[in-house]
Amino acid sequence: MTKSELDRFRAILTAKVAELERFTRHREGITIDRSADQLEEIQAASERALAVCNLDREFNQLRNARAALRRIQEGNFGTCQQCDEEIHPKRLAAVPWATFCIRCQEAVDNNLDLEEIQAPSHDLLRRAA
């Protein structure tokens, strides 16, 4: 990856970190307000649960963006953390904090053993022949 590409990703990630830090400071949606009306209590609980889910998602993205910035500093940004192959630039453009190439990410998403993806078993090769 060229220095200009790294600088571009650094700028994107830095802006994303700043945006997420601003967002995660706003926690008004998770306050607990009591109401005499049971229906209002249920609605408030539902809104609070949604706010907590959103906040959790944003914190995860913030952690991932910060980790990507660290990988840029360490010199291993854009390299799959599992197979050490280069992560496709289109994937990084869509998800700049990606830690896995698309093949390894699909394996993680499907709860597959990454080592089986890296080195297919002899049974799989035998069945394919």
| pTM value surpassing 0.75 | no
Contact 86, 79 (CB under 8 A): yes
**Long-range contacts formed by 2-7: CB under 8 A, 24+ apart:** 5/89, 6/72, 6/77
Do 111 and 60 fall within a single domain? no
Q: How many domains does the chain have?
A: 2
In this prediction, residues 38-61 reach a mean pLDDT of: 86
Residue written as token pair 């453009």 = 93
* pLDDT (0 to 100) of residue 82: 93
Lowest mean pLDDT among 12-16, 65-69, 76-80, 119-123: 119-123
Q: Which residue segment(s) compose the domain that 97 sits in? A: 78-129
Do 96 and 57 fall within a single domain? no
**Residue in 100, 90, 77 with CA at minimum distance from that of residue 7:** 77
Contact 118, 103 (CB under 8 A): no
Quickly state the pLDDT bin for 37 (edges 50, 70, 90): confident
Do 71 and 83 fall within a single domain? no
Do 113 and 59 fall within a single domain? no
* pLDDT (0 to 100) of residue 124: 43
Quickly state the pLDDT bin for 119 (edges 50, 70, 90): very low
